[in-house]
Amino acid sequence: MEYKIPVDDLFKYSFKFSLFIMLTAFVSIYVMEGDLKIVIFRTIMAFVQFYGCFLINIYLYLKMQKREGPFSERLKIIAGILITIVFTSITTITTQYAMKIGWLPNDLNDERILEVFNSWKVYIFIPFLATVIFTTVHFFHRFVILAYATKQSELEVVRLQTANAETTNQLLKQQIQPHFLFNALNTLKSLIKKQPDVAENYLIQLSDFLRASISGHRTDTVSLREELTLCENYMQMQKTRFGEALKYQVDIPEDYFDRYSIPFFSLQPLLENAIKHNELTKQSPLSIQLFVEGKDILVKNNLRLKKNVETSTGNGLTNLKERYRILFDEEIKIEQTADAFIVGIKLISNENRSN
């Protein structure tokens, strides 16, 4: 599978790991040798050897990243080991030669190292050392690439989940009950014949409501003032239809209107839900009240349940619960008593959102 090489991460972590090797070598050699000059020299050589090998491996990744398959991976490893052997041989031989001709102090050498370089053992020592170094570097880089790929996969999953949640949220909040449109148009038809002036106002209210519900909103939340205006518009249409059989009251302090926000189109489905499930008569009107309790806005209606409820298309309380779960990972509060049905929605402070 083709993957993106995290070049910046490889350079950054390679340098850090080489520094770690250098510090480890410094402590180890200082404990064994005690001569600070020798310690510094060999520590620098350890850094050069490892970081050089890191650069070789990064180069091979960049050159061969478009090739796929196990053969390509084996080829890269073999090429890496061979290049590392050459690099190790060059650095080692160059160092020995520099000490031999006096460019570096001869006392930096070690008799055991000289013994190896002056015998056949050098042909085993350098390939073995190069293989160990390259293997360490190779697996370290594989770990960095795997960590990067895992992180990118997690980010992609989050992005897809967010996109899916946003799409679902848009679909949920823009659904309009067909029966509402049917009833609204029937009411409008009746008003045009009997009360033309009222019909004109009703048509304006219906137009504003449909525009808001169909076009949606640029953000998931709106100020409480905007949502209450939408609800007032909706309830005026319903009052035109039901008259004295429907009571609507808002008991919310005005300073809450702009201090708090609420998910767009979240209160209206609760009003519609109450009207849909209850009997409305002048003798026993349906009373809907909006009020605040703590940091929640509550929608309360008295219960006069219908025996036969119109078929729902999925909008309303169920969709509102799903939207709240998507947006805030929280549940809305639902309570039913013998004579009332109450739904509580958490208000969102505009001050907290701006910080």
Q: Lowest-pLDDT range, 95-109, 114-128, 259-273?
A: 95-109
Would you give the distance in Å from CA 285 to the centre of its chain? 47
Beta-carbon count within 10 A of 94 CB: 12
Are 21 and 46 within 8 A, CB to CB? Answer: yes
Query: Around 354, how many Cα atoms within 13 Å sit in the side-chain half-sphere?
Result: 6
222 forms beta bridges with 262
In this prediction, residue 292 carries a pLDDT of: 94
Are 220 and 169 within 8 A, CB to CB? Answer: yes
**314: pLDDT confidence band, cut at 50, 70 and 90?**
very low
Q: Lowest-pLDDT range, 20-34, 109-123, 181-195?
A: 109-123
**1: pLDDT confidence band, cut at 50, 70 and 90?**
very low
Are 141 and 10 within 8 A, CB to CB? Answer: yes
Amino acid identity of residue 163, one-letter, is A
Q: Each residue of 191-247: pLDDT tens digit?
A: 888 888 888 888 888 888 877 766 655 567 888 998 998 899 889 889 988 999 999
SS (H, E, C) the chain: CCCCCCHHHHHHHHHHHHHHHHHHHHHHHHHHHCCHHHHHHHHHHHHHHHHHHHHHHHHHHHHHCCCCCHHHHHHHHHHHHHHHHHHHHHHHHHHHHHHHCCCCCHHHCCHHHHHHHCCCCHHHHHHHHHHHHHHHHHHHHHHHHHHHHHHHHHHHHHHHHHHHHHHHHHHHHCCCCHHHHHHHHHHHHHHHHHCHHHHHHHHHHHHHHHHHHHHCCCCCEEEHHHHHHHHHHHHHHHHHHHHHHEEEEEECCCCHHHHEEEECCCCHHHHHHHHHHECCCCCCCEEEEEEEECCEEEEEEECCECCCCCCCCCCCHHHHHHHHHHHHCCCCEEEECCCEEEEEEECEEHHHHHC
CATH number of 177-354: 3.30.565.10
**Domain chopping of the chain, boundaries:** 7-169, 177-354
In the predicted structure, residue 291 carries a pLDDT above the cut 80: yes
Beta-carbon count within 10 A of 204 CB: 11
User: Could you give the CA distance from residue 181 to residue 272 in angstroms, rounded to a whole number?
Assistant: 12
In the predicted structure, residue 325 carries a pLDDT above the cut 70: yes
Q: Which one has a higher pLDDT value, 64 or 293? A: 293
Q: Which one has a higher pLDDT value, 329 or 171? A: 329
Which tokens sit at 12? 């950054």
In the predicted structure, residue 265 carries a pLDDT above the cut 60: yes
> What mean pLDDT value characterizes the chain?
79
